[in-house]
A and B are shown apart, each in its own frame.
Chain A
Amino acid sequence: MQKADALVPVSAYVARAALGRLAAEGSVKVSETEPDWAALVIRVRDHGDTQAFAALFRHFAPRVKAFLMKSGAGAALAEECAQDVMATLWQKAHLFDPARASVATWVFTIARNRRIDTLRKARRPEPEDLPWGPEPEPDQADAFELAEDTRRLGEALAQLPEKQRALIERAYFGDLSHTEIAAETGLPLGTIKSRIRLALDRLRQSMT
Chain B
Amino acid sequence: MTIRHHLTDALLMAYSAGQLPEAFSLVAATHISLCDECRARLSAFDAVGGTLIEDCDPAAMDEDSLTATLARLTGAPARPRQVDRPARGLFPAPLRDYVGGDLAAVKWRPVGLGVRQAILPTAPGGVARLLYIPAGQAVPDHGHRGTELTLVLQGAFRDESDRFGPGDLEVADQGVEHTPVAEADADCICLAATDAPLRFNSLLPRLAQPFLRM
11 contacts between A and B (CB under 8 A): A53-B73, A101-B50, A108-B46, A132-B83, A136-B80, A154-B55, A168-B48, A174-B19, A181-B17, A183-B13, A193-B41
Cβ-defined partner of A177 (8 Å) among B19, B29, B71, B76 = B19
Question: In the complex, which residues of chain B have a beta carbon less than 8 angstroms from the beta carbon of A197?
Answer: 36-37, 40
* Number of A-B residue pairs having CB atoms within 8 Å of each other in the complex: 248
Assuming A61-B65, A171-B17, is B70 touching A124 (CB within 8 A)? no
Question: In the complex, which residues of chain A have a beta carbon less than 8 angstroms from the beta carbon of B44?
Answer: 189-190, 192-193, 196
Chain B interface mostly helix, strand, loop or mixed? helix
Chain A interface mostly helix, strand, loop or mixed? helix
Interchain CA distance A79-B69 in the complex, whole Å: 11
B101 at the interface (CB under 8 A from A): no
Q: Contact at B41–A94, with CB atoms within 8 Å?
A: no
Question: In the complex, which residues of chain B have a beta carbon less than 8 angstroms from the beta carbon of A187?
Answer: 48
| Additional A-B contact list (15), CB under 8 Å, known A63-B53, A183-B13 | A9-B66, A53-B70, A61-B61, A87-B69, A94-B77, A94-B78, A106-B50, A108-B46, A112-B16, A131-B85, A172-B49, A181-B10, A190-B44, A196-B39, A204-B36
Question: In the complex, which residues of chain A have a beta carbon less than 8 angstroms from the beta carbon of B43?
Answer: 100-101, 105, 192-193, 196
Q: Contact at B50–A57, with CB atoms within 8 Å?
A: no
Interchain CA distance A19-B52 in the complex, whole Å: 26
Question: In the complex, which residues of chain A have a beta carbon less than 8 angstroms from the beta carbon of B199?
Answer: none
Q: Contact at A169–B52, with CB atoms within 8 Å?
A: yes
A109 at the interface (CB under 8 A from B): yes
- Bin the interface of chain A by size: 35 or more
B100 at the interface (CB under 8 A from A): no
Cβ-defined partner of B22 (8 Å) among A50, A123, A171, A172 = A123
A21 at the interface (CB under 8 A from B): no
Assuming A63-B56, A64-B53, A82-B61, is B146 touching A125 (CB within 8 A)? no
